[in-house]
Copies of this chain bind each other. A is one copy, B any other.
Amino acid sequence: MTPGPASDDDAALVARVRAGDRRALARALSRIEDGEPARVRGLVSGLHPHSGHAHVVGVTGAPGVGKSSLTAALATWWRGEGRTVAVLAVDPTSPFTGGALLGDRVRLERHAMDRGVYVRSMASRGHLGGLSAAAPHGLVALDAAGFDVVVVETVGVGQAEVEVAAVADATVVALAPGLGDAVQAAKAGVLEVADVLVVNKADRPGAERALAEVRDSQELAVGAAARDGQALPEGVDDWIAPVLATVATDVGPASGVPDLGRTLAQHRDWLARSGLSARRARARAELWLRALAEAGLRARLDALGQGSLLHDLATRVADRRLDPFAAADRLLAALEESD
C-alpha cells in the first residue's frame, strides 16, 4: 500500500463525483475496477468521508430467479417515492478471460433516460463467490455520489449471499418456483443471511408450493438481532425475515413490488431503532479492514514469489526433501524480514 493523502487529481475527481458529474463517477468506478492499489487508495480515501448516507440493499439469488427484473422494478418504485437509485451489478467472470457475462441487465434499460438511476456492472474477477474485491470500494463511490439507495446485485453461488450480506444494510434473497434442487439445497444457508425473502415469478406454476416451503423453513429461522447475538432496546421486536411474493415484470400494486419496497423501508427503520445499524456498520468496517490487510499481505507474498526463495523452497518440498509446513514457516519469517 502506498501511504499519503489523495493527490490533486484525486481531490478534483472526488469533488466532481460529489457534485453529481456522471462522467466523473464512471471514471472513478473504472479506476476502482482496474484495481491499481495506489490509485484506488487515493481515490477511495478521498470518497470515504463523504459516504455512509445511502441505503445499501443487496439483491441475490440463483441464476434465473429474475434478480435484474426485481432490481429494475424496485428502482421504478423508489423513483416513484422520489428517491435516487444506483445499481452495482457484480458479474461472475471467467478467471481467465476477464470478460463479464452480459446477463439480462438490459431490463434495467427502461431507466436509461432517467438521471435519478445509475447502473454499473463490475466483474467479479478473481475474487471467488460472486462479489468483486472492488465492489465494496464501488459502493463507497456510489454512496459518496449522493444516491439515496445503492443496490448491489449478484448471482447467488454459494458464498455470494454471505458476501452481499456483509456489505448491505438489507439483503433480499430471491427464489423462483420450479428451480429445483439447487435452490432447495442452498436454502438453509441463504435463510440465515436474508433480511427479506422473495419468491419472484409468483405467477408461475409451483409458486404456492415454493412460498409454503420457504415459509415452513422460516419457522426455524431466528431473528436478525438474535443472529447477531445482540440485545434489543425495550419495546423493539426482533426482525424475522418476511417472505414476499413478487411478479417483477410488473410494478403495479398487485406485483408485490411496492410491498417489497415498503418492507425494505421498515427494515431500515428497524435497524435504526434496534441499534443494529451502527453495529452492522462497524462489522462491515472490520471485514473491510481485514480484507485490506489480507490484500497487503498477499502483495508481499507475491513480491516474495518473484524471488528465488519460494522457488527454492517449493523445489525441495516437491522433491520431498523439505517438510511443507517448515517451508511455509520460513516463507513467513522471510515476509517479516522483507519490510
Contacts and interface: CB of A to CB of B under 8 A. Distances in A.
Interface of A: 1, 3, 41, 44-45, 48-49, 51-52, 63, 92-97, 99, 101, 128-129, 157-159, 162, 182, 185-186, 188-189, 192, 278, 281-286, 288-290, 292-294, 296-298, 301, 305, 310-311, 313-315, 317-318, 320, 323-329, 331-332, 335-336, 339
Q: Is the interface of A mostly helix, strand, loop or mixed?
A: helix
Contacts of A283: 314
Contact of A298 (B101, B188, B294, B315): B294
A90 B97 CA distance: 25
A318 B96 contact: no
B189 A97 contact: yes
8 contacts: A1-B328, A3-B329, A94-B186, A95-B158, A95-B162, A96-B162, A157-B158, A284-B318
A153 B48 CA distance: 44
B324 A45 contact: yes
Contact of A289 (B41, B97, B324): B324
Copies of this chain:
2
For the complex of A and B, 6 pairs with smallest distance between CB atoms: A128-B128, A94-B189, A292-B328, A285-B314, A286-B314, A96-B189
B324 A285 contact: yes
Contact of A311 (B52, B281, B282, B325): B282
Given A52-B320, A95-B162, 17 more contacts: A1-B325, A3-B326, A3-B329, A45-B324, A48-B317, A48-B320, A94-B188, A101-B185, A157-B158, A281-B318, A288-B324, A289-B310, A289-B313, A289-B327, A293-B332, A296-B328, A297-B297
Contacts of A48: 317, 320, 323-324
B324 A92 contact: no
A93 B101 CA distance: 24
Given A45-B323, A189-B96, A128 B158 contact: yes
